[in-house]
Amino acid sequence: MIDLEVLRVFCGPDGGGGNELGVVRDGAALPGADARAALAAELGFSETVFLDDAVHGTVDIHTPSVRLPFAGHPLVGLAWLLRSSGRPPRTLRPPAGEVAVHFEGEVTWVRGRAEWVPARTTRRYASVAEVDALPAPPPGEGWLYAWAWQDEAAGVVRARGFPRRGDGIAEDEATGAAAMLLTHELGRPLDIHQGTGSRILTRAHPDGTIAVGGRVCRATP
């Protein structure tokens, strides 16, 4: 039996939105890479995360088609789940490197580096309406993070994410890694409104790391 928890990560303040995440609490129960890839494909979530070592925070992240060295929404979701179980982590360890974790009220934060983000394109559009009008997915190849200023002075961004991997994920509801990359490119903290109702907060730190944070909810059965 697989101990699987399904969460929604980067929920809006009203509890709406959020990107579904599969969390396998006991990665040892499914140790093989092929088996993990098969489960991630079967679940069909943007990402599924396997907790391989709860003490050291070692994790393994899969999309329905590829294994990732780093991703924001699985790490935020897992950190929240561990805290809700009475074991709040200070560090998680995906393949890319050590990820610091901290909590501020309802918001769970993780810190990583822009160079850890798998290749993707950020593209600015002239207006929120143009971003909203994009088909899912837009024509073209490769990961696209489409965004526009909703309120530039306040750092509020409207965004949509399109993996365009051919694995059934036409649009990614909320994308921590892309939010981290955009924050690095713009050099300022952001309040990103993505997908149908998700919200991602970001901050840049003096050591070059970028934090992404958000609210997490358990998915409704």
What pLDDT, on the 0 to 100 scale, is given for residue 220? 72
Please tell me the predicted confidence (pLDDT) of residue 221: 63
CA distance to 43, 156, 199, per residue, from 190 (Å): 31, 6, 10
Length, in residues, of the chain: 221
Residue 176, φ and ψ in degrees, nearest 5: -65, -40
More confident residue, 14 or 186: 186
Confidence band, pLDDT 50/70/90 cuts, at residue 1? confident
Mean of the per-residue pLDDT values for the chain? Answer: 96
pLDDT tens-digit profile of 90-149?
A: 999 999 999 999 999 999 999 999 999 998 999 999 999 999 999 999 999 999 999 999
Residue by residue, DSSP assigns 120-144 as -EEEE-S-HHHHHT--SSPSSSS-E
> Distance between CA 177 and CA 203 in Å, rounded?
13
- Calculate mean pLDDT across residues 16-40: 95
0.85 surpassed by pTM:
yes
Instruction: Measure CA of the first residue to CA of the last residue in the chain; give whole Å.
Output: 18
- What's the average model confidence in pLDDT over 197-207? 96
